[in-house]
Amino acid sequence: MTNIINWKKALLPKDATIHEAICNLNESTLQIVMVINSEQQLIGTITDGDIRRGLLRGISLNSSIEPIIHQHPFVVPPQMPRDRVLDLMQTNLIHSLPIVDEQRRVIGLHSLDRLLTLPQRPNLMIIMAGGKGTRLRPHTENCPKPLLPVQGKPMLEHIIERAKREGFKHFILAVHYLAHMIEDYFGNGEQWHVKIDYLREKSPLGTAGAISLLSTRPNQPFLVSNGDILTDVHYGQMLDFHLRYGATATMAVQLHEWQNPFGVVHTEGINIRRFEEKPVIRSNINAGIYVLSPKALDVLEVNEYCDMPMLFNRVKEQGGSTIVYPIHESWLDIGNIKELERIQYKPE
Location of each CATH 3.10.580.10 domain in the chain: 7-116
Residue 138 reports pLDDT greater than 80 = no
Span 31-36, average pLDDT? 92
Q: Is 153 a catalytic residue?
A: no
DSSP, collapsed to helix, strand or coil, labels residue 175 as strand
Identity (one letter) of the amino acid at 101?
D
Lowest mean pLDDT among 62-66, 177-181, 316-320, 338-342: 338-342
Decide: 40 and 62 in contact? Cβ < 8 Å: no
Span 270-275, average pLDDT? 84
Decide: 7 and 31 in contact? Cβ < 8 Å: no
Mean pLDDT of the residues in the chain: 85
Distance CA(264)–CA(275), nearest Å, equals 6
CATH label, 7-116, candidates 3.10.580.10, 3.40.50.720, 3.40.50.2300, 3.40.50.2000: 3.10.580.10
Q: 74 or 203, which is more confident?
A: 74
Decide: 67 and 17 in contact? Cβ < 8 Å: no
Residue 197 reports pLDDT greater than 50 = yes
pTM given for the model? 0.64
Decide: 203 and 179 in contact? Cβ < 8 Å: no
Q: 340 or 147, which is more confident?
A: 147
Span 265-280, average pLDDT? 84
Q: For residue 64, which of 24, 23, 15 has the smallest C-alpha distance?
A: 15
Decide: 115 and 3 in contact? Cβ < 8 Å: yes
Residue 282 reports pLDDT greater than 60 = yes
Residue 140 pLDDT level (bands cut at 50, 70, 90): low
Residue 31 pLDDT level (bands cut at 50, 70, 90): confident
pLDDT given at position 17: 93
pLDDT given at position 43: 93
Q: What is the pLDDT of residues 113-126, one digit of tens each?
A: 777 776 688 999 99
pLDDT given at position 347: 42
pLDDT given at position 4: 42
Identity (one letter) of the amino acid at 281?
I
Lowest mean pLDDT among 35-39, 178-182, 196-200: 178-182
Residue among 153, 278, 316, 346 flagged as catalytic: 278
Location of each CATH 3.90.550.10 domain in the chain: 121-342
Q: What is the pLDDT of residues 49-82, one digit of tens each?
A: 888 788 878 888 888 999 999 999 999 998 787 7
Q: What is the pLDDT of residues 81-104, one digit of tens each?
A: 777 888 888 888 888 899 999 899
Other CB atoms within 10 A of residue 144 CB: 24
Lowest mean pLDDT among 176-180, 214-218, 289-293, 342-346: 342-346
Q: For residue 99, which of 88, 89, 110, 90 has the smallest C-alpha distance?
A: 110
Which of 35-44, 47-56, 259-268, 274-283 is the most confident on average? 35-44
pLDDT given at position 281: 78
Q: 280 or 89, which is more confident?
A: 89
Residue 265 pLDDT level (bands cut at 50, 70, 90): confident
Per-residue DSSP letter, 239:
H
Decide: 109 and 7 in contact? Cβ < 8 Å: yes
pLDDT given at position 348: 40
Residue 133 reports pLDDT greater than 80 = no
Distance CA(8)–CA(154), nearest Å, equals 44
Class level of CATH domain 121-342: alpha beta
Residue 346 pLDDT level (bands cut at 50, 70, 90): very low
Residue 1 pLDDT level (bands cut at 50, 70, 90): very low
DSSP, collapsed to helix, strand or coil, labels residue 220 as coil
Residue 338 reports pLDDT greater than 80 = no
> Following DSSP, what letter does each residue of 21-40 receive, concatenated?
HHHHHHHH-SS-EEEE-TTS
Distance CA(126)–CA(247), nearest Å, equals 18
For 198-203, which contacts have Cβ atoms below 8 Å and span 24 or more sequence positions?
198/172, 198/173, 198/174, 199/126, 199/172, 199/173, 199/174, 199/175, 200/175, 200/176, 201/130, 201/174, 201/175, 201/176, 202/176, 202/303, 203/176
